[in-house]
Amino acid sequence: MAELPHGVDTTTHPICLGLEGDAPYADPGDQFGVTSEQRYHLRQRFPLLPYLEQQGWKPTAYSEKDEVCGLCPLHRDSRPSFYVNRRKNVFYCQGCGQGGDVIRLVELLHGLGFQAALAMLSGLEQDSGNRLWSDACDFYRQQLSRNLEAQCYLRSRGIEDPEIVEEMGIGWAPGGCLRAYLQDLGYSRAQMISSGFVDAQGRDRLWRAVTFPIAETASMYGRHTNPADGRHRFLARPKGGLYGWARARDCQTVIVVEGLFDLASLWQAGFGNAVALLGSHFNERQRAQLCDGRERTVYLCLDADENGSGERAARLWRRRLEQRGLRLLRVELPEGFDPNRFFTAGAGAAEFSRCLEEAQR
């Protein structure tokens, strides 16, 4: 690509310098109480160059000063006069004299006010984030079908029913491949990092892990197959409600477990009324789901850890949830067992049903 021709330096131009502090033009955000520091953070949240490229704008030249230039999208331009500073996320056009950040550009392109421009960018960010999450899920599912090690690991955890694997969207993150895959789909580095799937060095955060998508919050759980790499890994998202609640919400009895392998084991054994906490503690949304006014019996089947943490958590939540009108029963498994290990050790549906019966006594 050609070198940037002689033109405006967006690192020193007053319009672009002003955006680091008090903007020299009438900033439409000022009337809404947006400070220069807040505006700066908004620019980092909505990078300018990826937005321009999404609109079909193409740079014609680059320079070593973090600048690119191309035809101006704001007026009929016969030669490149539109300059973008990639580091500061600002633009200036020599031809029409307009300059600013991505919010200002959206205002000018679409004839919007400040709040409407910000809402449009937020909507695009959310849509893009959801698409990227969905594409990453597809990639991981494809990798599971191609990786014998991941398939063997699932079998070692007792998960063999292809319908359960498909329903839960289980996949495999090999590490080192996701960034190139997403880049080929047109996602920018900034979008990948913002999604949480890729770190600042471009590495897959869920490397060498069996993956479970969490659709409610566009999150992902990863379980490393090598204990040396750690055990659990989540994207930085809220955990949302009870995983599997759509299956269990109309049931008179609900079985609550901690993890997704536990849940997969119960679903595979025919206990479709099981849900997962994604941990050992209920959040407010999960409590509201269980305490929705319906008469319901809830079996708490938390891990029987040797340190007694599962038992303590079960006692705590039994007291708290019983105050909300639920009938809670604690399911006791052999010491050191969770539901997944219970089934992989050879137990079946009949043995687990007996544990449920014991909880009623």
DSSP structure class, residue 334: -
Write the CB contacts of 152 (distance below 8 Å, at least 6 apart in sequence): none
pLDDT at 33: 53
**The pLDDT of residue 3:** 52
- For residue 15, the model assigns a pLDDT of 45
> For the chain, first and last CA: distance in Å?
77
- As a whole number of angstroms, the distance between CA 155 and CA 344 comes to 9
CA 225 to chain centre: 21
pLDDT for 184 equals: 87
Identity at 74, one-letter amino acid code: L
* Ordered per-residue pLDDT tens for the chain, 361 residues: 455 554 455 444 544 444 443 333 344 444 445 667 767 777 777 778 878 877 778 888 877 667 899 999 999 998 999 999 988 889 999 999 999 999 999 899 888 888 888 877 876 767 778 889 999 999 999 999 999 999 999 999 999 999 999 999 999 999 889 999 998 887 877 788 878 899 878 889 999 999 999 999 889 999 999 887 778 888 888 889 999 999 999 999 999 999 999 999 999 999 999 999 998 788 889 989 998 888 899 999 987 655 555 567 667 777 777 766 788 899 989 888 999 999 999 999 999 999 999 998 8
Q: What does the block give as tokens for 53?
A: 């490229």
Residue 200 neighbours by CB distance under 10 Å: 7
Q: What CA–CA distance (Å, rounded) separates 329 from 315?
A: 10
Q: Alpha-carbon torsion 332, 333, 334, 338, what sign? A: negative
